[in-house]
Amino acid sequence: MDAEKPPLEILLCAPRGFCAGVVRAIDAVEQALNLYGAPVYVRHEIVHNKYVVDALKRKGAVFVEELDEVPDTSAPVIFSAHGVPKSVPDAAAGRNLFAIDATCPLVTKVHREAQVHHKRGRHILLIGHRGHPEVVGTMGQLPDGAITLVESAEDARTLMPREPDNLAYVTQTTLSLDDTAEMVAILRARFPTMSEPHKEDICYATTNRQEAVKSVAPRVDAMVVVGAPNSSNSQRLREAAERAGCARAVLVQRAADLDWTVFGDISRLGITAGASAPEVLVEEIIDAFAVRYAVTVETVTSSHEDVFFPLPRALRPDAAE
């Protein structure tokens, strides 16, 4: 049978898939279910992946968009990895809810930076995407008007802050490295006294996954990014592949979403996965290609990751004793 199939070499990007913040957030929901039983309420998708969310629902997690959907309960209420505005934990405390914050520590770092700049009297420029939960959460750390959102190079060029000599910038953690570098360069040129993060805000996982894609994309005929359409880091991977020279770059959630007309005559395929996409979905995609092609798989590693974040304190093994 394989003799009749066209050969296909798959280059698997590494690192790919789950990052330490996503692992911590998913583990937080599972550990809350282990310690306290169902239901466990989760405000917003714990991570942007339908497969992960559906699996947690089957175990007893109840996902809500806002706290007012949570009944008066002693069950845990978990905040997603993307972070939340300050008003959310305040509202939870006002209702005596058992709130557990699963915000990624690297997002919390951005929140703290913004708070420090605000205390020092600086106006903050936040480079990010309007409406993304992480941006909503970061802007919600400070009073209205304390942060200005910068979404594009055009925004960076035309922004007219009230105190141009008293600025600081922070960024969403899941942005395009190239887009962000362009915006920062424009802002630096316009506002040379602007304060900068001590360490890059774009997280290690976003950076590493984009660099892996950039190394593979010029070598392949097509690239599949496994991830959700509402996942910022997954969308940026697709864009990075296109920019690096792969004209056929697609973002899919599952093998069933593959449009086979896109692939046709390819002989080499790149595959990666966003930071909230589980490896089982990568394997599903490879299996789908193996039905149609005689597949060989090679992993292309651009960096190694060993980052680990401990669970929120309320969920550590001794918490329920």
Domain of residue 68, CATH code: 3.40.50.11270
- 312 occurs within a structural domain: no
CA dihedral 212, 215, 217, 219 (to 10 degrees): -140
**pLDDT given for residue 316 in this prediction:** 86
Q: Where are the beta strands (DSSP E) in 23-174?
A: 40-43, 61-64, 76-79, 98-101, 123-127, 147-150, 167-171
Report the chain's mean pLDDT, rounded to a whole number.
95
Whole-prediction pTM: 0.92
Asked if 86 and 144 sit in the same domain, the reply is no
**pLDDT given for residue 2 in this prediction:** 53
Q: Give me the mean pLDDT over the 64-78 stretch.
A: 96
**Residue from 9, 30, 45, 134 carrying the catalytic annotation:** 134
Asked if 161 and 212 sit in the same domain, the reply is no
- 314 occurs within a structural domain: no
Under 8 Å between Cβ of 181 and 170: no
Asked if 215 and 139 sit in the same domain, the reply is no
**pLDDT given for residue 198 in this prediction:** 84
Question: Which residues fall within 8 angstroms of residue 274, CB to CB, at 6 or more apart?
Answer: 17, 48, 49, 209, 225, 226, 227, 228, 231, 233, 234, 237
Work out the pLDDT band at 77, boundaries 50, 70, 90: very high
The span from the CA of 292 to the CA of 245, in Å, is 25
Asked if 177 and 255 sit in the same domain, the reply is no
Does residue 307 have a pLDDT over 70?
yes
Tokens 């005689």, located at residue: 294
pLDDT > 70: what percent of the chain? 98
Asked if 111 and 169 sit in the same domain, the reply is yes
> What is the residue range of 174's domain?
106-190
Number of domains in the chain: 3
Domain of residue 12, CATH code: 3.40.1010.20
Where does a domain end: 82, 104, 126?
A: 104
To the query of whether residue 134 is one of the catalytic residues in this protein, the response is: yes
- 81 occurs within a structural domain: yes
Does residue 59 have a pLDDT over 60?
yes
Does residue 319 have a pLDDT over 80?
no
Q: Give me the mean pLDDT over the 141-167 stretch.
A: 97
Asked if 274 and 231 sit in the same domain, the reply is yes
Asked if 210 and 285 sit in the same domain, the reply is yes
Under 8 Å between Cβ of 222 and 245: no
CA dihedral 251, 78, 60, 34 (to 10 degrees): 110
Query: What pLDDT, in 10s, does the model give residues 187-212?
Result: 999 999 999 998 888 899 999 999 99
